[in-house]
A and B are shown apart, each in its own frame.
Chain A
């Protein structure tokens, strides 16, 4: 393990100070510094927390900055904490050979966010999966249907208030 993975920058101020030349940080600041809610550099991974209504533009911004490959996207349910849902987008750069994570926090009531399929069509299945298993809606998604569970299924299995075993 290199020194990089040991260094931890716990908040936005320290990331802005410690990684001012990082291409993703630079691009986000140049685009809209207010949309960057929080930042963290931990275990060699950079996490940028973006305001929910800015995610599509933020995705387009990091894409233009060289983070060309959408790799993965999923949600985490922090029930009963608020805000309840966390969305994690993992973006890979073929040029910089590095991952970054865009993070969005969503409130429990009627969770919905802009789809990033206009930026990366590959987000299609991933957003459907999160819609299916967490019940988060993606505005502007071309085909927002359940993907794993049957269409008539009730509830969203990966939510923390959905039991692992037994009857619902």
Chain B
């Protein structure tokens, strides 16, 4: 078999190694523990994994191609749909990249609100990870608890953005609108109770012998392997690499916040569990600092040709109406150039590479998502282990198929 260019297409490599004693097993694409439509072709010797080959692309929707046909501001809603568990981080990364291209500075209040909401989004992502990871292992109760708290976060998102999951709240040049009046009280109430809830999850899991035995020593990934295979975020830090973009290459005024970066040298699934649990507590600290120190001011940059005017102004001022009409119908031109913006999202390092040719539509948008790279490390982590460990390892690298296939 060859492709159009005449290059031979290789057959699935697992099949060739399958000798008499080896069993080739197909896991997915409709397996509940694969968190989406991921197909794993696993070659087994008894119950021991000899090879593991992830087959992806079932969810490929060509989002990067779609971006090229939209105006810059129309791409924001597309980014939500890539990683639907951490929507605001995607918005943030894309907006930062375009703002870098434009050379547009945004008001401090908007930056702080972005930090606050990005951390809530990280909590959202980690809560789902914890619930589904524990459920995969067999601890069903935790799932119900974490989804209870996630619901509170989604209600806050709904209050600010009008949408529970596909928020699109961050826009190029700031936020789409001021948060509602009771926003800070709601967030304050939520984070006041959350530490107790995290203790509750911890009580259910940390001392639980079944959970411990399923995680301890499973899915070993050394620091060298993690770097060589492109693993980022909590799994990288659980392999002993102390690197977090929020602290090391700060964006959106993260340099003004005090927080710790949890690092573990355990290199296994248990270490990843511990790192994420501590990260949730650090996120609460950041949110508290954001509530206490939020600066006054506007939430949109003063750039009438890029940022949509307020509804009120649009209806009363001629100029605002013209700008509104122009932005909606023609977009805005972005100076030619290329930028890469990386941020620390819930799952790891997200990066947007945006190329502009000077027109109102991006020439190329490329999305670097942590799960795509982390999936390459799956075979290294699972080789020589039992089949049942695959489920624990997939849970521990916290994959979202939407961001792998894009």
Which residue numbers of A lie inside 8 Å of B, CB to CB?
Answer: 1, 5-6, 42-45, 47, 68-72, 74, 76-77, 88, 90, 92, 94, 97-99, 101, 110, 120-122, 124-125, 133, 135, 137, 143-155, 157-158, 162, 164-165
Contact = CB atoms under 8 A, between A and B. Distances in A.
B253 to A, nearest CB: 12
Contact of B5 (A122, A124, A133, A135): A135
A122 B230 contact: yes
A1 B250 CA distance: 11
Nearest to B351: A72
B214 interface: no
Contact of A122 (B229, B243, B364): B229
Nearest to A77: B364
Contact of B1 (A151, A158, A162): A151
Interface of B: 1, 3-5, 7, 9-10, 13, 56-57, 60, 62, 64-66, 68-69, 100-101, 103, 105, 227-230, 232, 241, 243, 248-249, 337-340, 342, 349, 351, 353, 355, 363-364, 366, 368, 372-373, 375-376, 405-406
B339 A72 contact: no
A145 B9 contact: yes
Contacts of A137: 5, 7
A101 B230 contact: no
B90 to A, nearest CB: 15
B342 A71 contact: yes
A120 B228 contact: yes
A58 B50 CA distance: 34
B105 A72 contact: no
Given A74-B353, A121-B376, A122-B230, A149 B103 contact: no
A90 B340 CA distance: 8
Nearest to A162: B65
Given A90-B353, A125-B372, A147 B57 contact: yes
A40 B101 CA distance: 15
8 tightest A-B contacts by CB? A122-B230, A72-B368, A74-B366, A148-B60, A148-B57, A164-B69, A97-B248, A76-B364
Contacts of B7: 137, 144
Contact of A125 (B10, B60, B373): B373
A1 B105 CA distance: 7
Nearest to B59: A148
Contacts of B5: 110, 135, 137
Q: Which of A122, A151, A158 has the most CB of B within 10 A?
A: A122
B351 A71 contact: yes
A33 to B, nearest CB: 24
A164 B68 contact: yes
B353 A122 contact: no
Given A122-B229, A135-B5, A157-B62, A88 B338 contact: yes
Contacts of B103: 1, 5-6, 43
